[in-house]
Amino acid sequence: MSKSLLSLAITAIALSGCSLIPDYQRPEAPVAAQFPQGPAYSPKEAANVAAAEQGWRQFFHDPALQQLIQTALENNRDLKVAALNIDAYAAQYQIQRADLFPAVSANGSGQRQRLPARASSSGKEMISSQYSATVGISAYELDLFGRVRSLSEQALQTYFSSEEARRSTQISLVASVANAYMTWQADKELLKLTQDTLGAYEESYRLTSRSNEVGVASALDLSQSRTSVENARVQLARYTRQVAQDENSLTLLLGTAIPASLPTAEPLSADLLSDLPAGLPSELLQRRPDILEAEYKLKAANANIGAARAAFFPSISLTANAGTLSPDLSGLFKGGSGTWLFQPQINLPIFNAGSLRASLDYSKIQKDISVAQYEKSIQTAFQEVSDGLAARQTYNQQLQAQRDFVSANQDYYRLAERRYRIGVDSNLTFLDAQRSLFSAQQALITDRLSQLTSEVNLYKALGGGWGEQTAKNEAVSEKAPALHLF
């Protein structure tokens, strides 16, 4: 009995070898072979280590930032959802792939019935019994044209895409934490600068007030000095608010409170990031998880076409069982009580008002959409990297010019203060020098933040931020999750 069912299952599986899935061809990358060149870009550098292979601990030098990134990777809720989605798609794949195998089940039943005399044909009370035990398969589809196999392949590629979605989420999280942390540090530096400047403005206002009382400074001088004080107070309130909001944003990204034992933060002017080689656009196809995710979705749509094609052909399902049947429980497994059932069924589509054709057309359109989305992900990646490369060169030039501008304003401030103290120039010149220096120092901090943010975004655009250490970075292998047969 068991051997016959096993032979039937093996035969059914052997017949299920045909597939109508179209041969997959990766679309050509709709971008240039090289990143842009020109005045806005630095000269091309040889890439010793690809950016995607630089672990985030290697790229970010600030110990405080490293601890925050580690905390976010352990607690961020979006990352947890992405990881759970992988498990969910793995389970869906196992459910779909299980249809390739016959489901074998055993069943035992018993029945004992009494019929009263007036209800029986013999006019006598009747008591009947029936017991059975069977093992078999029910409605197993022979996958002759690969419909079930195509659906299994579609579920597998969807699972692979969820793996890449998690990688993409982690890379985005690392970059978001880094940008939020640097914004927090920049606003704290701006707050400290404003506090120091406000103190200088208040001291200047006190001196001008005393000079006004003795008739040396005019009411206009006093009014101008007061406007500087009030403007600094406005800036103080603004940066106090921004620092608090930065902390709230960072807390949300971390998924928990900011650790109280953070190492001392490095100043923005320190060497916070590693050098980042750009490499070639072709590397993005293997490094960017969002591109890989789009390609897996394209493969899933391609597999769906195979399922839609197979629906045009006949489908054959089998139901079979074997067992024993007896009116007495004691005779259930005695000789001569055996029973079996073999019930094949074929279904041939004849007329469905164009439903199958429309399903096939829909599958092909979905594949065309997936192709366009895959190509768009490549173009987006190319644009993000190109923007980052342009920002790198121009921010270096802008930052150096801004440092020179601050230095020039510091000289202007020192000269104006000296000339004001000895009475050569009016208070208005001194106030103008104070304001120019404050504005230049604010712009320097803001420009440094923009430069750091652009480097972090370039690191993200090149696919960096997945591994903690370069040696431990591994690509997602195209290996199906284990199928649990029992």
- pLDDT, residue 451, reads 95
Of 107, 76, 307, 295, residue with least CA distance to 177: 76
- pLDDT, residue 471, reads 39
Asked if 327 and 130 count as a contact pair (C-beta separation under 8 A), the reply is: yes
Both tokens of 461, joined, read: 């655009």
Contact residues for 62 (Cβ-Cβ < 8 A; gap 6+): 181, 265, 266, 270, 272
Rounded Cα–Cα distance for residues 409 and 186 (Å): 21
Place of tokens 């997936």: 370
Amino acid at position 188, single letter:
K
Residue ranges of domains in the chain, CATH in brackets: 22-101+146-312+357-472 (1.20.1600.10)
Contact residues for 435 (Cβ-Cβ < 8 A; gap 6+): 228
List, in sequence order, every residue forming a beta bridge with 106; answer none if it has no partner. 135
Tens-digit pLDDT profile for the chain (486 aa)?
A: 445 544 544 554 444 557 889 999 999 988 888 888 888 877 665 455 567 788 899 999 999 999 999 999 999 999 999 999 999 999 999 989 888 888 888 888 888 888 887 777 777 878 888 888 888 888 888 888 889 999 999 999 999 999 999 999 999 999 999 999 999 999 999 999 999 999 988 988 888 888 788 777 778 878 888 888 999 999 999 999 999 999 999 999 999 999 998 999 999 999 999 887 767 777 777 888 999 999 999 999 999 999 999 999 998 888 888 888 877 777 777 777 788 888 888 888 888 889 999 999 999 999 999 999 999 999 999 999 999 988 988 998 999 999 999 999 999 999 998 887 787 777 788 888 999 999 999 999 999 999 999 999 999 998 888 877 543 444 445 666 765 555
Contact residues for 482 (Cβ-Cβ < 8 A; gap 6+): none
Amino acid at position 352, single letter:
N
Amino acid at position 83, single letter:
A
List, in sequence order, every residue forming a beta bridge with 302; answer none if it has no partner. none
Amino acid at position 329, single letter:
L
Both tokens of 353, joined, read: 């008002």
Both tokens of 394, joined, read: 């121009």
- pLDDT, residue 476, reads 47
- Between CA 446 and CA 452, with CA 448 as vertex, the angle to 5 degrees is 115
Rounded Cα–Cα distance for residues 2 and 486 (Å): 18
User: In the chain, how long is the greatest CA-to-CA distance?
Assistant: 136
- pLDDT, residue 131, reads 81
Asked if 462 and 392 count as a contact pair (C-beta separation under 8 A), the reply is: no
347 SS3 class: strand
List, in sequence order, every residue forming a beta bridge with 342; answer none if it has no partner. 320
Edge to edge, the sheet with strand 126-142 lists 104-115, 126-142, 315-326, 338-347
Of 145, 108, 50, residue with least CA distance to 333: 108
Rounded Cα–Cα distance for residues 480 and 259 (Å): 39
| pTM for the structure as a whole | 0.84
Q: What are phi and psi of 398, to 5 degrees?
A: -65, -40
- pLDDT, residue 284, reads 77
Identify the helix (H) or strand (E) that includes residue 298: helix 289-310
> Torsion angle, CA of 476/159/56/471, rounded to 10 degrees?
-20
Percent helix / strand / coil, the chain, rounded to 5: 60, 10, 25
Of 435, 433, 431, residue with least CA distance to 443: 435
Q: How far is CA 55 from CA 49, 52, 297, 395, 424, in A?
A: 11, 8, 27, 24, 59
- pLDDT, residue 335, reads 75
| Rg, Å, the chain Cα set | 37
Rounded Cα–Cα distance for residues 222 and 226 (Å): 6
pLDDT tens, position by position, 457-486? 999 998 888 877 543 444 445 666 765 555
Rounded Cα–Cα distance for residues 473 and 463 (Å): 11
H runs (alpha helix) in 144-263: 147-213, 219-254
Place of tokens 């842009």: 36
Both tokens of 367, joined, read: 């594949």
Contact residues for 360 (Cβ-Cβ < 8 A; gap 6+): 305, 308, 309, 311, 312
Rounded Cα–Cα distance for residues 410 and 190 (Å): 17
- pLDDT, residue 229, reads 92
Amino acid at position 199, single letter:
G
Rounded Cα–Cα distance for residues 171 and 462 (Å): 10
Q: Is the dihedral of CA 86, 90, 96, 100 positive or negative?
A: positive
* Tally of CB atoms within 10 A around 412: 17
Q: Is the dihedral of CA 343, 314, 366, 150 positive or negative?
A: positive
Please give the distance of CA 418 from its chain centroid, rounded to a whole number: 57
- pLDDT, residue 44, reads 63
- pLDDT, residue 268, reads 92
Asked if 127 and 112 count as a contact pair (C-beta separation under 8 A), the reply is: yes
Asked if 307 and 59 count as a contact pair (C-beta separation under 8 A), the reply is: no
